[in-house]
């Protein structure tokens, strides 16, 4: 049996049949837990349990101490067990640009300008090197699915979507990759928007883009929803990524979804402006978002980096959307990584454990802690229509992250670099790729 630090990699039985003994599992991440498990939950919703793994699947979740004392397995010594997380909103095509494309002042406008200038270098080789590096890091951290937005204006669409298809094929069976088109209202309204929708449908992707103040935004949104509906596509939008109280992209998207009778999934990211709008505006927006059945994803690390930034002054308004209010209103809310080491966010590594930890600290996702783990697991899995919703139960994939941390106070206080990752019940190599690999394509 194993009971030492996770850095000492144990050997699992070759037949793939063993117990994870005396772990702690978030009750909110168990599907239909037995009453005797529910009764054992602590005040943070953690359940002391044994988990049976057979041939790549979980076969039982039972109260701790139920597993045979001498059977093969890992003794977790009370360490937490999570399903592998899901990253709903990323930008793999921009990942790791920072060494050659720093944001000169950290502002949103400078990020846009820097990326536009750098995009002339985004050939297939450059994109593939950076995107694959980012996915390898995410896999080592334990992520099992990623949705990436791809800049899809002009000639870049053909390059980026071609690279994505190759990347998805290469990672099939390890990380499920989805791509969402990142286009502007001007594109939706033209033949280019229709051609992009056809390209997205061919790849099995997600349509969408960016909402911002635009004279024809309402018409453009109707067109985006129509193009998606005609092809059976889901939608994903960037909305209200500013601290202006006068932008209402989130509400417009929801109203358009209702007006068009859209039957697909709609996800909206950012929604920073809600944090500076009046209570009446917030209530009106959340009501229509709830009616539309949309999912919202908060990107706390990137929004902290960009919002309310000014030279020589401390930021006052942080731009994190209203996660507590959305959850109370019954709106599915997720957290995700967004940009990593690029002009929009100079840091990050597509580590959903870090993302969740920072979200807890930034948005006070505690008191109790036990309400919030689905925002990094189940909610994004359902938004992406994955085959497994991320709740642990008999028959689910044995795609799990094993921590030495026993409680949230331990989990959220250290980087968890000693975590172990199981995919199909087998240990994954959690060594991270070396940044020096990128020295060539980044010059």
pLDDT on residue 4: 43
Query: What per-residue confidence (pLDDT) applies to 441?
Result: 55
241 tagged catalytic? yes
Mean pLDDT of 159-168: 98
The residue ranking higher by pLDDT, 157 or 442, is 157
- Check if the beta carbon of residue 411 is closer than 8 Å to that of residue 78: no
For residues 180 and 150, is the Cβ–Cβ distance under 8 A? yes
Average pLDDT in the chain: 94
The pLDDT-based confidence of 73 (bands split at 50, 70, 90) is confident
Interatomic CA distance for residues 400 and 391, integer angstroms: 11
pLDDT band at 6 (very low <50, low <70, confident <90, very high): very low
Average the pLDDT over 53-60 and give the result: 96
Residue for token pair 């992209």? 249
- Across the range 68-80, mean pLDDT stands at 86
Give the whole-number percent of the chain exceeding pLDDT 70. Answer: 97
List pLDDT tens digits, range 259-279. 999 999 999 999 999 999 999
Identify the CATH homologous superfamily for domain 86-376: Metal-dependent hydrolases (3.20.20.140)
Tell whether domain 17-83+391-427 is in CATH 3.40.50.150: no
Q: CB–CB of 373/352 below 8 Å? A: no
Indicate the domain borders of the chain: 17-83+391-427, 86-376
Q: Which of 15-19, 43-47, 254-258 has the lowest mean pLDDT?
A: 15-19
Contacts 24+ apart (CB under 8 A), 162-167: 162/124, 163/93, 163/124, 163/127, 163/128, 163/131, 164/92, 164/131, 164/203, 165/203, 166/128, 167/92, 167/128, 167/131, 167/132, 167/135
12 contacts 18 by C-beta, under 8 angstroms: yes
Which candidate in 241, 281, 410, 437 is catalytic? 241
pLDDT digits (tens, 9 = 90+) for 363-403: 999 989 999 999 999 999 999 999 999 999 999 999 999 99
Q: How far apart are the C-alpha atoms of 258 and 299, rounded to whole Å? A: 25
3-class secondary structure, 392: strand
Do the domains 17-83+391-427 and 86-376 sit in the same CATH topology, yes or no? Answer: no
């Amino acid at each position: 049996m194993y009971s030492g630090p996770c850095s000492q990699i144990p050997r699992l039985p070759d037949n793939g049949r063993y117990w994870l003994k005396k772990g702690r599992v978030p009750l909110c991440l168990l599907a239909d837990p037995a009453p005797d498990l529910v009764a054992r939950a602590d005040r943070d919703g953690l359940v002391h349990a044994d988990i049976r793994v057979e041939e790549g699947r979980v076969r039982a979740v039972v109260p701790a101490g139920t597993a045979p004392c001498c059977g093969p397995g890992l003794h977790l010594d009370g360490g937490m067990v999570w399903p592998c997380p899901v990253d709903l909103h990323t930008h793999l095509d921009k990942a790791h640009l920072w060494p050659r494309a720093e944001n000169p002042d950290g502002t949103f406008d400078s990020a846009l300008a820097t990326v536009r200038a750098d995009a002339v270098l985004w050939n297939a080789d450059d994109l593939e090197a950076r995107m694959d590096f980012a996915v390898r890091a995410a896999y080592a951290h334990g992520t099992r699915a990623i949705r990436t937005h791809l800049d899809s204006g002009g000639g870049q669409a053909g390059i980026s979507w071609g690279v994505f298809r190759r990347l998805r094929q290469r990672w099939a069976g390890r990380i499920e990759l989805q791509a969402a088109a990142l286009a502007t209202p001007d594109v939706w309204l033209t033949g280019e928007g229709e051609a992009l929708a056809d390209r997205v449908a061919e790849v099995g992707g997600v349509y969408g883009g960016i909402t911002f103040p635009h004279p024809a935004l309402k018409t453009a949104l109707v067109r985006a929803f129509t193009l998606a509906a005609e092809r059976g596509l889901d939608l994903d939008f960037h909305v209200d990524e500013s601290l202006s109280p006068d932008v209402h992209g989130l509400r417009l998207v929801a109203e358009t979804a209702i007006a068009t009778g859209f039957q697909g999934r709609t996800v909206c990211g950012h929604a920073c402006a809600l944090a500076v709008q009046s209570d009446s505006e917030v209530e009106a927006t959340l009501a229509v978002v709830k009616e539309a059945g949309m999912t919202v994803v908060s990107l706390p690390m990137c929004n902290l980096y960009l919002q309310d930034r000014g030279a020589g002054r401390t930021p006052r308004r942080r731009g994190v959307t209203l996660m507590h209010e959305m959850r109370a209103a019954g709106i599915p809310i997720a957290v995700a990584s967004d940009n990593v080491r690029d002009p929009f966010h100079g840091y990050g590594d597509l580590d959903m454990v870090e993302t969740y930890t920072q979200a807890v600290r930034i948005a006070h996702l505690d008191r109790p802690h036990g309400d919030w783990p689905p925002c990094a697991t189940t909610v994004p899995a359902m938004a992406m229509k994955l085959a497994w919703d991320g709740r642990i139960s008999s028959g689910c994939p044995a795609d799990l992250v094993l921590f030495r941390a026993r409680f949230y106070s331990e989990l959220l206080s250290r980087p968890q670099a000693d975590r172990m990752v199981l995919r199909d019940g087998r240990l994954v190599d959690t060594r991270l790729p070396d940044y020096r690999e990128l020295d060539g394509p980044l010059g």
